[in-house]
Amino acid sequence: MIDSARLRHYFTNLQTRIVSAAEAVEGSTGSTFRVDHWEKEAGAPIAGSGCTCILEGGRVFERGGVAFSQVSGVELPASATAKRPELAGRAFAAMGVSLVLHPENPYCPTAHMNVRALITTRADAEPAWWFGGGMDLTPYYPFAEDIRHFHATCKQALRPFGDDTHARYKRWCDEYFFLKHRNEPRGVGGVFFDDLNEGGFERCFALTRAVGDAFADAYLPLIERRQAIPYGERERDFQAYRRGRYVEFNLVWDRGTLFGLQSGGRTESVLMSLPPIVKWRYDWQPAAGTAEAALYEMLTPRDWA
């Protein structure tokens, strides 16, 4: 039995918990999230509503967004049926939480997390549903112990769902968050899954909750460790350059961004993942032996956990 109210309760509660945890990292002298409720006009081909919590210019986070959205429509957008053409023409309802946190300090990594559910219907067929999501880490000046902690937390969260589940979803993440036009990973990975319906609704919902619930423990301790490290213009400049890769991936390859725009999601909320300061350079490479070059050595996928 698909209980949409139960899904919504989990996703909205997860959003509240993560916002509270991020505000705790900001501290008493930091910023709080602005809460932006939005709603699409009823009766339109694509209907929906949501709540975007956005923080800009914080003490720790230069930009952060934690968004809940719920949309529905009479026909699945092309981004959702590209790999499952048999679902073309079905009505759909989708909901989930998506977040990106961009710290100001270049020694702190950027992180992304998304968990979502999608249900499709057609009058002459049974409903088809699936879950998707994951989390990944994008450092600028990486620390091996931080990357190991992030991956180990992901592995522990997925342990109850099979011995090979983490390995499969880690490999999927490495393959997904890859800039094909540059032949380069976006970051150091994490876990990723999509079209998940194997093992029944309860198992899939539990796995999705496990990923969502693990995010704060996987990521926020890294910010606590690194936010006080001194940095200068050189580090900020490199951070802005590497953020360009983040923007390229989200606008060129990310299925979630395409689905959000094609399904009539609120544009400001869909694009909240983009960092506020970004730079591009023509055919630039870091000098060998520098701290900047060390990042590229860390990007090669490996068993961090």
Tens-digit pLDDT profile for residues 101-121 = 999 999 999 999 999 999 887
Residue 112 known to be catalytic: yes
Most confident of 21-35, 220-234, 272-286: 220-234
How much is the pTM? 0.91
Burial (CB < 10 A; 0-12, 13-18, 19+), residue 135, is buried
Catalytically annotated residue among 9, 37, 112, 166: 112
Q: Which CATH number fits domain 4-298: 3.40.1500.10, 3.40.50.2300, 3.30.410.40, 3.40.50.620?
A: 3.40.1500.10
Q: Supply the mean pLDDT for the chain.
A: 91
**How do the domains of the chain map onto residue ranges?**
4-298
Please indicate if the annotation marks 149 as binding a ligand: no
The reply, when asked if residue 181 is annotated as ligand binding, is yes
- Give the integer Cα–Cα distance in Å for 48 and 154: 31
The predicted-structure confidence for 81-99, as pLDDT tens digits, reads as follows 666 777 777 788 899 999 9
What is the rounded CA–CA span in Å between residue 1 and residue 172? Answer: 29
- The position carrying tokens 């219907």 is 121
Pairwise CA distance, residues 159 & 62, whole Å = 34
The 10s digit of each residue's pLDDT in 254-273 is 877 877 777 666 788 778 88
Q: Over the stretch 61-73, which tens digit does the pLDDT of each residue have?
A: 999 999 999 988 7
- pLDDT surpassing 90 at residue 42: no
The conformation of residue 42, written as its DSSP 8-state character, comes to T
- Cα 25 to Cα 61: distance, rounded to the nearest angstrom: 9
Q: Is the pLDDT of residue 79 over 70?
A: no
Residue 168 annotated as lining a ligand binding site? no
